[in-house]
Structure 1
Amino acid sequence: MSKTQRHIQLMDTTLRDGEQTQGVSFSPEEKVNLASALLKQLKVDRIEVASARVSQGEMEAVSSINQWAKEQGLGDRIEVLGFVDHTKSVDWILQTGGQVINLLTKGSEKHCREQLGKTLDQHVTEILQTVNYALEKGLQVNAYLEDWSNGYMNSRDYVYTMMDQLKDCGIRHFMLPDTLGVMAPQEVFDSLSDMTARYREQQFDFHPHNDYGLATANVMAAVRAGVNSIHCTVNCLGERAGNASMAEISVVLRDKMDIDLSIDESYIVQLSTMVESFSGKRVPANAPIVGADVFTQTAGIHADGDSKGGLYKTRLSPERFSRTRSYALGKMSGKASLTKNLEALGLKLSEENQQRVLARIVKLGDSKELITTEDLPFIIAEVLESKNYHHIKLLHCSVTSELNLNSTVSIRVDVDGDIQQATGSGNGGFDAFIYAMNEIMASKNYALPKLADYEVRIPRGGHTNALTECVITWDCDGQETKTRGVHSNQVFASILAALRIINLQLHERSSAQ
């Protein structure tokens, strides 16, 4: 950290506010694992792990986290949301071995009057009663001013009066939430500039929500206004549209504002994956930093530019986050995209074969959005073994399958210029296709050979949308011949393998005449 760099604290509230995401509930063991990863690997400054008095399971989780943190010397970095209830929340936190309470107070006059049914003086009296008890018991105290953003916009005098009465009572951090995510960056800057200037001795946190999709921009405005602590969650978890994204604000503060942070960026994706798994909330493929596709170049022109001088690379390099750049294969691929993937596999192809493989990739791209590096060996094997015989071409094929009923196939083919069509029924789509094809080829004095073996597979470590390779071994009058088909649909992969044996045998027959 240089002398001119300013340090900003990040407080992660994935385990508390993030758990307010619809359908998300972390188990005690998951909470302990996440707390450990957040503090020891990602190295956030503080974490908020739960709300007091919620459940017995929550108490067990917080107790386990506090026990672990105490052993690691990190006990003062574990925070628990508590309520203005004099002794109850404080005693609950003490029972778990906690050291910090984040007291939830009402930061807007409307919340105080309509939800609590109290005046500000009554509310402040009860806040001071709880704060004093917490301090007597040795807890550190921070305070949320819930709905502060609306409170400041609607009744600044309420906020000022509240702060005037609480600023010297021993609260360490005054945490200012945009609870409903209603502020825009200029509003954040103006209001927080006022708060930091008016209360220069106080430490303010900003707690943004993302309802307008402005959470990251609002964090930048808060930092410009003088706030030195920012709240966030992993994967933008949180109520409604979620909180500020840990990944987004960390790179934006570093890259755009030259801010010093404690976190280790190389663990951002690992934490994202862990939270995705535990929460059941999937990360969009195009989510900045952590999305599956954000370091994948799709257009061939981009791969070409990178090859010729890194023309499409930025400070957001994948290596920075322990990731790698990839070049997608599909209908938009160019030669440079294929070359990058061949390099990744350690493969070399002649110029002619590169063109043949690329043509096959582009054609496959019409039926499968993304072809991966793992798919590529299947395509290469198919292309290199194939001979460009076109005695029979599949013009149309429809396969219908139902549970407990035979599958049906309708096909139309071009056999040496003769257009034929047929339907077939069988035990599965491929069986039905063979029946229909034999019906057509009977008029050509040809029948498909018997199957000796049939193998279907996807790439190692592949996904359900991976390309399928079908290798069929045919018994051709006692001699075995293998043909291969590759397609995103396994039935069509087998159909392509069958068409290949027909083309091979029709070619042999025409050559012998």
Structure 2
Amino acid sequence: MRIEILDTTLRDGEQTSGVSFVSQEKLMIARLLLEELKVDRIEVASARVSEGELESVKMISAWAARRGLLDRVEVLGFVDGTDSLNWIREAGCRVINLLCKGSLKHCELQLRKSPEEHIADITTVVNNAQKMGFDVNVYLEDWSNGMQHSPDYVIQLMNALIKLPIKRFMLPDTLGILNPLQTLEYMRKMVKRYPNVHFDFHAHNDYDLAVANVLAAVISGAKGLHTTINGLGERAGNAPLSSVQAILKDHFNAETSIVEDRLNDISRIVESYSGIAIPANKPIIGENVFTQVAGVHADGDSKSNLYYNDLLPERFGRVREYALGKTSGKANIRKNLESLGLELDEESMKKVMERIIELGDRKELVTQEDLPYIISDVLKHSSANSKVKLLDYFLTLTSGLKPVATLKISVNGKEYEETSSGDGQYDAFMRALRKVYKNTLGRKFPMLINYAVSIPPGGRTDAFVQTIITWKNNDRVFRTKGLDADQTEAAIKATVKMLNIIEEEY
């Protein structure tokens, strides 16, 4: 069974509240979807939205034409004579997804037309599209309500439209009202009555049933599915491609064109462009979904992979991780130590585990990068063993002037001192530090790629601030954490941890 995937991140996904992609972002997402993720088709815009949208589609269509992919780029158009067709032609595309009314209520109350009048208008647009060299797919907007409350209208519409040169009929659950049993029933009726028609199903997630409904549609004979990256879309969103792909493959042995190991990276790019964070527990792409927390699970993984399922992280460009916290056992710690190339005897392991549990009870996050420092602290190793030490620093913050940082640092026993200004105290500190590494030591300095601060609730001004910084050094991405009542000091502590990590690698 081969299922065709249309991704509508750039059209329906951009209807997520607060999301607006700039032209270069839209082009990048289009390229990633078609060339790297290998979706079959992409829907990139709605016609006649704005001049900015027109320019974005022109960029995408010009790129797609050069790559021989233009027939896989689609634009939503309307039953408006030739207005949408002219817009799409100016944009350089040649596939229109024509938005028709799939329920009698929409036809009569929104358009204020009879079914016969609407069919005549659709026929005019489709015929015009054929003359202009367009391929035509048709959306039956509000089809789910049409099947519930006006099935005779849906049949009347379909009986008329199947006589026209329409490539695909796309059936949306526009308001996200269906459950899987209804989807199964309605889709089967459509497939049984029109067995030679290519039907797409377009789900919305208002009841958190989008993925379930997509699978019901596949069981019923749908040949195409509409998805978005990260489940973006209006209201509660659309069916997320990552979940749909995993379930199609693992539960239905369905074939798609999707390159699974690109899903995670592309999801993160869309997360960055959209500003909509991926929940940590989001299946397949969430930060925590390949992280074992309970020690018994890590122990089972060491014994014939007892806690593995078919969702192996490597399929999706991920790796399995073992969390460190109050429910961690020795097995979790061992897994992390193995990754770091470290070994501990049983007595030392017990002490380290007790400290991690203590930190977990205080709701502190313990990362793999923290382990060497916890071990050093627990086993009473002096900080003298650190190859990089912050000997002294001085920060100034004066109204009307840029903050200035002066620091003295020791690297492998040799002291260095630098001063720099910056846009903030930590920025000034980092600029001074870069001077030491780049100008004096002549070494590459890691890139800071994410900076997150968490403050416990309650409004206390003396509460600990936890700063977690994500770094990229060569091809390796890792995190370090600093904890202090002062945010800048917490960030500096995390930075010194980073310096010792890269010093060991150096």
Q: Is the pair's TM-score, using the shorter chain for normalization, greater than 0.5? A: yes
Q: Which amino acid aligns with 2:484?
A: Q
The reply to whether residue 164 of structure 1 matches residue 164 of structure 2 is no
1:211 to partner: Cα distance? 0.8
CA shift for structure 1 position 326: 0.5
Q: 1:356 aligns with which of 351, 356, 359?
A: 351
Does the 8 Å CA contact 1:465/1:488 hold for their aligned counterparts? no
Q: 2:121 aligns with which of 107, 126, 132?
A: 126
Equivalent residues in 2 for 1:75-474, closer than 5 Å: 75-385=70-380, 464=452
**AA in 2 matched with 1:294:** V
Change (3 A) 1:209 1:487: closer
Distance apart, 1:353 and its partner CA: 1.3
User: C-alpha offsets along residues 344-372 of structure 1, whole Å, 9 cap, x if unaligned?
Assistant: 00111222211111111110112235311
- Paired with 2:481 and 2:10, the residues of 1 have a C-alpha distance of 43
- Letter of the 1:245 partner, please give it: P
User: Could you tell me which residue of structure 2 aligns to residue 7 of structure 1?
Assistant: 2
How large is the RMSD of aligned CA atoms in angstroms?
2.3
For 1:464, the aligned partner's letter is: A
3-state secondary structure, aligned to 1:36: helix
CA distance in 1: counterparts of 2:213 and 2:266, whole angstroms: 23
Partner of 2:390: none
- Structure 1 residue 385: deviation in Å? 2.2
* Aligned AA (1:10): I
Q: Deviations over 1:204-243 (max 9, x none)?
A: 1100111111111111110111111000101010011100
CA distance in 2, matches of 1:291, 1:134: 42
One-letter code aligned to 1:234: I
2:52 aligned with 1:57: yes
1:211/1:51 CA distance change after superposition, 3 Å: same
- Distance in 2 (alpha carbons) for counterparts of 1:468 and 1:382: 20
CA distance in 2, matches of 1:377, 1:368: 20
* 1:46 equivalent among 34, 41, 45: 41
> Is the alpha carbon distance of 1:234 and 1:460 closer, same or farther for their aligned partners in structure 2, counting shifts above 3 Å?
closer
Q: Structure 1, unaligned stretches of length 5 or more?
A: 1-5, 388-403, 405-458, 470-485, 496-513
Residue 452 of structure 2 contacts residue 467 of structure 2 at CA under 8 Å; is this kept in 1? no
Matched residue of 1:374: which SS?
A: helix
Q: Give me the whole-angstrom Cα distance separating, in 1, the residues matched to 2:128 and 2:89.
A: 12
What amino acid does structure 2 have at the position aligned with 1:54?
A: V
Q: Specify the structure having the higher radius of gyration (Cα).
A: 1
Amino acid at match of 2:71: D
Following the alignment from structure 2 to structure 1, what is the Cα–Cα distance between the partners of residues 321 and 192?
48
CA deviation after TM superposition for structure 1 residue 102, in Å: 0.2
Q: Aligned partners of 1:102 and 1:324: how far apart in 2?
A: 39
Deviation per CA, 1:323-361, whole angstroms, max 9, x where unpaired?
Answer: 100100011110001000000001112222111111111
For residues 76 and 91 of structure 1, the distance between their equivalents in structure 2, rounded to whole angstroms, comes to: 17
Q: Is the 8 A contact 1:285 1:294 kept in 2?
A: yes
Would the aligned equivalents of 2:451 and 2:467 in 1 still touch at CA under 8 Å? Answer: no
Q: Deviations over 1:301-329 (max 9, x none)?
A: 11111112211101001011111001000
Q: Which residue of 2 aligns with 1:489?
A: 483
Q: 1:369 to 1:149 in 2, by over 3 A?
A: farther
Tell me, yes or no, if the aligned pair for 1:50 and 1:81 is still in contact at 8 Å.
yes
Tell me, yes or no, if the aligned pair for 1:207 and 1:232 is still in contact at 8 Å: yes
Offset of residue 489 of structure 1: 2.8
How far apart, CA to CA, are the structure 1 residues paired with 2:103 and 2:301?
Answer: 53
Q: Give the Cα–Cα distance (whole angstroms) in 2 for the partners of residues 164 and 369 of structure 1.
A: 63
Cα deviations across residues 152-174 of structure 1 (Å, max 9, x unaligned)?
A: 11011100000111111101111
* CA apart distance, 1:487: 8.7
Distance in 2 between residues matched to 1:350 and 1:106, nearest whole Å: 70
Whole-Å separation in 2 of the counterparts to 1:297 and 1:24: 33
**In 2, Cα distance between the equivalents of 1:155 and 1:461?**
53
1-structure distance, mates of 2:448, 2:80: 57
Q: Distance in 1 between matches of 2:258 and 2:219?
A: 20
**Shift of the alpha carbon at 1:73?**
0.5
Residue 468 and residue 173 in structure 1: after superposition, are their counterparts in 2 closer, same or farther (change >3 A)?
Answer: closer
- Match for residue 35 of structure 1? 30
How far did residue 490 of structure 1 move? 1.5
Q: Percent identity?
A: 52
* Superposed displacement of residue 374, structure 1: 1.3
